[in-house]
A and B are shown apart, each in its own frame.
Chain A
């Protein structure tokens, strides 16, 4: 998936970004790079500004200062949908399915093109893509033959089932299916392990690794340090909106500044 023109292997550059809300400096002159093909862990105590970083990258907030570049294109100040269509997708900390639409439609929504008169994918292509994605995130496993049915290996159709029927872990998977439907090169995962059991964490990690093998770069924010540290290639530690440390999981685990921040800050 290597894109031409990506310098130093950095797919995303967060360059001297600041953002404040009222008097609160949420992000303070923060810089870091995300390398092509890696899974980057973004950790820090509660309120360190991790979700704000996601909101800045995806255009929900606009930085007060600094630049954000994606595949060498500056995306600072872009509207969220434009960022998504440039190849950055996200999941939300608390899953946000479209409650009134079936699971199939939930995923299909992410396939809608913005050119109102263009056709985009054909109906068949759309429904194939959706059912492949549903199968990939194992939504069908939950239902057996009712509502969602496995058409064949690798295809799963959920045209009669609503998100409210899904247990928590499957809602997180649905979020990922929605994000994947936008064909992202970079995936931002906001606490993908929150509320999952140990075995579900393992399943989720396996899914994220598979996506990494397919060439999707990922940034993962999570409090579950054990799950996260086994998954990620590199870690950036944020505290009070600034970068505290950066390195491999092993380096970070040994870093005294990080230990200090975590011991004095939150109990994670």
Chain B
């Protein structure tokens, strides 16, 4: 009985995921020529990657990051500078952006290893604020003011140098972003179901007990920081080629970190796919409801707060839990929240 229901459930969720994916694949066909809408979906994919990356580090491993813009910005600047000044294709510089952000993750993880809870969150926040300042001060490789990378006109030849786009064709850009998002989602779903993901969750629930179970918490935390950094860096790099410019305000703003958190909270921390849903929800509201002005963001943040208040596990995790109880055919019982939950 239990296994039969579990199997049914697997099929149903697989079907839902495939239908959603089918819709996303058809987006360019459904909205031919609507470049605003297609752009919006590109942003939704970028934010999905960012939110999943936050979820891996914070939702799964319990290392609450307030500074995901740090990784996002490193990825963006690395890819922008390499592609613009060395003329490399974005297809190479985007992964390099991820690698740099991953090294950034290592850099943050090193002090972060000794820190827990709020101390750690502060370090992530400070790193993000610090690199924002640093890029403004150094005016990193830029023509624009305050570290912004804008189009440069080569006076000798009159050629306009910009951060190159991934492709001149918008639909290709969309499929690139969607493909990347789907690959990352698949990778992360396998990762969190592997013993590595299990170690991450053990560390989140109770680090000391995880050590007592023989888990090298430091090593796994570094790994979480590096993978999360890599993915957020990829997201930032894709973003910079989509916008074809970079500035601290565009790719390093604290808002980016907040948006990653909001997307994860909306969909459900510690679920990987929840943050994807949350990111789509957030971006679609942010972009499509522009006529409502600031009300739309106000409403989204209030919804996120209400979710924290009434469904603290997040929408997707709550559904999953209820289904699990359904599988067992029992009335839902609250799993006891640990002190560190």
Contacts and interface: CB of A to CB of B under 8 A. Distances in A.
Interface of A: 58, 60, 79-82, 84-85, 89-90, 92, 96-101, 105, 108-114, 116, 120, 146-147, 149, 160, 162-165, 178-179, 181-182
Nearest to B340: A99
A54 to B, nearest CB: 10
B206 interface: yes
Contacts of A116: 196, 219-220, 223
Nearest to A164: B336
A195 B185 CA distance: 45
Interface in B219-274: 219-220, 223, 270
Nearest to B327: A160
A35 to B, nearest CB: 24
B214 A101 contact: no
A105 B194 CA distance: 11
A42 B263 CA distance: 51
Nearest to A108: B198
B217 A81 contact: yes
Interface of B is mostly: helix
A82 B220 CA distance: 14
A84 B206 contact: no
Contact of B213 (A146, A163, A164, A178): A178
Contacts of B338: 98-100
Nearest to B202: A109
Contacts, number: 106
A160 B215 contact: no
B330 A109 contact: no
A99 B211 contact: no
Nearest to B324: A160
Given A81-B215, A164-B335, A165-B333, A101 B205 contact: yes
Contacts of A85: 214
A81 B335 contact: no
B212 A112 contact: no
A58 B208 CA distance: 11
Given A101-B201, A164-B333, A164-B335, A114 B216 contact: yes
Interface in B162-219: 195-196, 198-199, 201-202, 204-206, 208-219
A112 B198 contact: yes
B7 interface: no
A79 B333 contact: no
A79 B223 CA distance: 18
B319 to A, nearest CB: 16
A108 to B, nearest CB: 6
25 contacts: A60-B208, A60-B211, A79-B218, A80-B208, A81-B216, A81-B217, A84-B211, A84-B214, A92-B212, A96-B208, A98-B338, A99-B338, A101-B201, A101-B202, A109-B199, A110-B213, A112-B213, A114-B216, A116-B196, A116-B220, A146-B330, A147-B330, A149-B2, A160-B324, A181-B213
Which of B196, B204, B208, B327 has the most CB atoms of chain A within a 10 A radius of its CB?
A: B208
B212 A58 contact: yes
Contacts of A181: 213
A112 B328 contact: no
B160 interface: no
Contacts of A80: 208, 211-212
A84 B213 contact: yes
Given A89-B214, A149-B2, 10 more contacts: A84-B211, A84-B214, A92-B209, A98-B338, A110-B213, A112-B196, A116-B220, A160-B2, A160-B327, A162-B336
Which of A112, A120, A164 has the most CB atoms of chain B within a 10 A radius of its CB?
A: A112
A114 B215 CA distance: 6
B138 interface: no
Contact of A182 (B213, B219, B223, B327): B213
Contacts of A149: 2
Contact of B195 (A92, A120, A165): A120
A204 B71 CA distance: 50
Which of B196, B201, B211, B330 has the most CB atoms of chain A within a 10 A radius of its CB?
A: B211
A160 B219 contact: no
A90 B212 contact: yes
B208 A109 contact: no
B205 A99 contact: yes
B200 to A, nearest CB: 10
Contacts of A163: 336
B164 to A, nearest CB: 36
A146 B324 CA distance: 12
A110 B214 contact: yes
A146 B331 CA distance: 13
Contacts of A82: 216
B128 to A, nearest CB: 27
A96 B209 contact: yes
Given A98-B205, A116-B196, A109 B328 contact: no
A92 B209 CA distance: 8
